[in-house]
Amino acid sequence: MRLTALLLGILCFYGVCVFSAISEVRKLNGTVGETVSFPAAVKTFGYLIKNNGTDYKNTEPKDRVQWDNSTGFFSITDLKMEDSGEYKVQNNDNNKKKVETIYQLTVYNPVSTPQVSSRNKMKPTCSVLCSVENGREVTLSWQREGETLSHTSSPDLNTNLSLPLEIEDLLLLVPLW
């Protein structure tokens, strides 16, 4: 420990400083079939590098990876679940120092359209049921004026989510999915 500190001190004394930089990972979410953009501008020359080693030059668009020369952003079109993972945008503009921005892309399946049904419409209370296909990180909730009345989720992706609600004062309620 003392030897390491001494060596670092000597290196810095002679003008050679050793340091490590930790990059913050930025999160991006996308939906299957849609497009996601990586908002780190590459104006003249750079790469989009996937964690598996695949790299894309901004000067050579490939398949679903595009580069917009007006914004400088890379994008992936027609997202697939297997596009999830870590990506680096490497900016080599003007042959200056490389600047890397790291992104963690998570691709989700689209949430199905909820089905809402009701019973006992003519009684003082009305039962309402909202159902939706489950998916990764899906939460089904009922809200009134921004306040959550009830919610449900399940780690079991093979089951549908259902959320019943008893309405007594028959005010308009909107399901949020």
**In whole angstroms, what is the distance from residue 99 CA to residue 3 CA?**
32
Q: How many percent of the chain have pLDDT more than 70?
A: 76
The predicted-structure confidence for 96-140, as pLDDT tens digits, reads as follows 677 889 999 999 988 888 788 777 666 677 788 888 888 888 888
End-to-end CA distance of the chain: 54
How high does pLDDT run on average in the chain? 79
Residue in this structure with the two tokens 């200056």, named with its chain if needed: 96
Q: Where are the domains of the chain?
A: 21-108, 115-176
**In whole angstroms, what is the distance from residue 78 CA to residue 55 CA?**
18
- Among 59-68, 79-88, 100-109, 137-146, whose mean pLDDT is lowest? 59-68
Q: Which CATH superfamily is domain 21-108 in?
A: Immunoglobulins (2.60.40.10)
**In whole angstroms, what is the distance from residue 118 CA to residue 113 CA?**
16
Collapsing DSSP to helix, strand or coil, 11 comes out as helix
